[in-house]
Amino acid sequence: MKELNSQKNQNKLRNKFLKVGVKMMGPETIFFSNDTKIGKNVIIEPYVVIGKKVKIGNNVIIKSFSHLESCKIESKVEIGPYARIRPNTTLKEGSKIGNFVEVKKSTVGKKSKVNHLSYIGDSDIGKSVNIGAGTITCNYDGVKKSKTKIKDNVFIGSNSSLVAPVTIDKQSVVGAGSVITKNVKKKSLALTRSLQTEIRNYKKK
């Protein structure tokens, strides 16, 4: 009976959002909460779950297999597919969260992009920041959580680890594959990388 009531409630919520113009592909696969708030011109693809305390602005696209809970999504944001937006996250106008990205207790600034395979936790990201594939914020040392601050117009190269607490100042670049443990100054290039070794005409013994 409980399951039947839940199904009825979901159908009621889906119809409510369809009536106000939310575009849903496969509405029967999309799940809302009673307190979900959605703006105008929003597109939601199949297999999306929206948990409690989610507020979505105008002109937002949420792609398939994404999960959102206790977060604020401003206008013109694109999420997913396969994105997880966890509690206390704010995605500012024009930002983009791509596939296999998890964001927790963080702010992602205007027009900033975290396109693929990244974990952003306890972070404050400024405007027009590009986070390369495979980048993670190392926010937990086993005892406490620490904060990562990435200021405006920063470029983080792919497969980088940012060990909190750390601040990357404006217009800086972090080279791909770096482990950053110290603050990076404005307009700097920071990289930590071992020298590449090559043994010519190598044969296995």
pLDDT digits (tens, 9 = 90+) for 113-123: 999 999 999 99
Q: Among this protein's residues, is 116 annotated catalytic?
A: yes
Which residues make Cβ contacts (< 8 Å) with residue 15, sequence separation at least 6? none
Q: pTM of the prediction?
A: 0.94
- List b or e across 74-113, with b for residues whose CB sees 16 or more CB atoms inside 10 angstroms: bbbbbbbbbbbbbeebbbbbbbbbbbbbbbbbbbbbbbbb
- Alpha-carbon gap, residue 7 to 34, rounded angstroms: 13
Per-residue tokens: 144: 């406490």
User: Which H or E element spans position 7?
Assistant: helix 2-19
Asked if 122 and 136 count as a contact pair (C-beta separation under 8 A), the reply is: no
Which residue of the set 14, 67, 116, 127 is catalytic?
Answer: 116
Task: Tell me the per-residue pLDDT of 17-51, one tens digit each, with 9 for 90 and over.
Answer: 999 999 999 999 999 999 999 999 999 999 999 99
What confidence tier does 2 reach under pLDDT thresholds 50, 70, 90? low
Catalogue all structural domains in the chain, each as residue range(s) with its CATH number.
1-104 (2.160.10.10), 131-194 (no CATH)
